[in-house]
Structure 1
């Protein structure tokens, strides 16, 4: 299925808790957060694009197409999913695989496990478990391009939460372990960045 999937890295957030700017550009320890996401996602997809707003030229060094939200007002990650779907439809892909630009430990088998979990459901989302409770990770999902017009209409009607829209169609969950670290850990604060750097150093030591 890999060749039919368009990877879409969501970088449309405004990074208020980090003082603004592109969080994905933060240094992990010799590599930016987004560069590590690209490295992990690329083998899982037929192609990869970056969803970001503003001047696309600031990402020219990454060598990826940049697709902007088509819905105004920064409505959140669903707008990025739609941007990926629109690009995928034009390029002949059947699905979009999403990951956030500030999550450098995204699983190497993200797409495969989401596809395996779908079992007839149109959408598959990631989840982790905390103290016995399942925690959805809706920024990470496998989305059929066939639902893009429905998603566009939902966004135009004011729907912004991923799970609210996904609930309308039904979705499966692929559960990922959080030991030795949370694969969906995202960098929101300076303290998060320091923790991510320590995890990264531990993974790359030696």
Structure 2
């Protein structure tokens, strides 16, 4: 834990939610991002938020707010790069990322990703759907500081899809079992809030 920092990816534009910060939408008596912070903070040595725009809207959390280091919303990999550069300056060896709209991810996310790390110390989370198909969740990953220059070069070359880059580096896959629901259920649209409220009752 002491060598790994956490980064909450909140840099998306939430177009299916009508814009704004999905992480600041209410869920129960808190907001989505409050649930994410509560789950990730105990698993890591330090925590930051990747978000663009006015950082003051996150002031109450008392966490560093990291904008994408590249313009024009190049996607989650830019948030990963922002986190890697921040964590490198703080003396960490790696980061684990979590999406701001996924409030029920595993409490052992960091441990599972660490066990599954590939030869370059990369790993992505995965879970199976009702049919048994295994799905990768690329915004939940373990990312070593040592690959940050490679990631920046790849982004500048136009790479946007996470798995293209992680496959190139032999990322391991950490499969997390369902506990009555997909632990990586995320809130993409307004109707997902109602589903999340039901899941919250059974946590």
TM-score by length of 1: 0.96
Cα distance in structure 2, aligned partners of 1:9 and 1:91: 16
CA drift of 1:119 comes to: 5.3
What SS does structure 2 have at the residue aligned with 1:3?
coil
Return the alpha-carbon distance in structure 2 between the equivalents of residues 202 and 122 of structure 1: 35
Cα distance per residue 1:28-87 (max 9 Å; x no partner): 110100001000000110000000000000100111110010011111110000000000
Deviations for 1:113-148, whole angstroms, at most 9, x for unmatched residues? 110112534211011112232111111000001000
- Residue 6 (str. 1) matches residue 5 (str. 2): yes
Structure 2 equivalent of residue 77 of structure 1: 76
Aligned pairs for 1:149-168 within 5 A: 149-168=149-168
**Consecutive aligned runs of 4 or more in structure 1 exceeding 3 Å deviation:** none
**Structure 1: which 5+ runs fail to align?**
none
Q: Is the 8 A contact 2:10 2:100 kept in 1?
A: yes
Matched, 1:201 2:196: no
State the match for 1:101 in structure 2.
100
Cα RMSD (Å): 0.9
1:121–1:172 CA contact under 8 A, matched in 2: no
Residue 175 of structure 1 corresponds to 175
Q: How many residues align?
A: 202
Cα distance between partner residues in 2 of 1:179 and 1:40: 16
Distance 2:117 2:21 in 1: 32
What does residue range 50-129 of structure 1 map to in structure 2 within 5 Å?
50-118=49-117, 120-129=119-128
Alignment of 1:120-139 (within 5 A): 120-130=119-129, 131-139=131-139
Match of 1:28?
27
- Using the size of structure 2 for normalisation, the TM-score is 0.97
